[in-house]
Amino acid sequence: MLEPFKHILQTQRIVLASGSPRRKEVLNNIGLNFEVVPSTYEENLDPANYPNPADFVIDTAAHKVEEVFERLNKDPVKPNFIIGADTVVVFENEIYGKPKSEEHAFEMLRKFCGKSQFVYTGIVLKTQRDTVKFFEKSEVEFGELTDEMIKAYVNTGEPMDKAGGYGIQSIGGTLVKSVRGDYFNIVGFPVYHFCKQLVDLLQKNQND
């Protein structure tokens, strides 16, 4: 989808306001040239203050972007695009971020066994003139797992930096029975929706 615009994108300063190695890998894989500037925004928003998970992840992503935007806009070469993202898992109307401890990770994963949860990722794409906000939602169904299986997975350390306590693109994929929706959204970055919004912005700029 981005190929017709590669000549334009190569001239732009594109910033990913996230230190997530998964998001970096996804953007690298689609051939985007960008720099990583992790946001220093303290993620302390209360999900209870939001009517739904989508609003929560979008607002968290927006705060990350604004912090990086204000910091980098002082540079001689200002950023053309800043990308922010936030991902959570929702199970039985409760929001799950990254586990706080191995015990917490075990409890989370045990709840998911044999059931479905939903992964929400909020994306904010900011230029010098426009800000686009959107989200993606995917469904993940876990298989039936024994406590021994869950403990062994937690002991790998993989769950500790991931929303919901699992990484579908790695060992955590062995826990997943099925998915519905955008796989990359579950990884942490909805590729198709992002590319569609980026193309819309590029076309708008061409027509202005």
Considering the chain, what percentage of its residues have pLDDT values greater than 90?
97
The confidence score (pLDDT) of residue 190 equals: 98
Mean pLDDT of 124-134: 97
Q: 41-99: per-residue pLDDT in tens? A: 998 999 999 999 999 999 999 999 999 999 999 999 999 999 999 999 999 999 999 99
Strand pairing category for 131-142 and 116-126: antiparallel
Q: CA-to-CA distance for 205 and 208, rounded, in angstroms?
A: 5
| Catalytic-role residue among 75, 86, 130, 147 | 86
Mean pLDDT of 95-108: 96
The confidence score (pLDDT) of residue 38 equals: 98
CB atoms within 10 A of CB 97: 18
Mean pLDDT over the full length of the chain: 96
Judge contact between 139 and 195, C-beta under 8 A: no
**Above 70 in pLDDT, residue 171?**
yes
**Above 80 in pLDDT, residue 172?**
yes
> pTM for this one?
0.94
Query: Could you tell me the pLDDT band of residue 204, with boundaries at 50, 70 and 90?
Result: confident
Q: How many domains does the chain have?
A: 1
46 is known as an active-site residue: no
Highest mean pLDDT among 46-50, 122-126, 204-208: 122-126
How remote is the C-alpha of 84 from its chain's centroid? Answer: 8
Helix axis angle for 102-112 and 147-155, nearest 10°, is 140
CATH value at residue 163: 3.90.950.10
Going through 56-196 in order, the beta strands assigned E by DSSP cover 81-91, 94-96, 116-126, 131-142, 176-180
Domain that holds residue 96: 3-207
**Tokens encoding 197:** 């919004």
Phi, psi of 143, deg, nearest 5: -80, 175
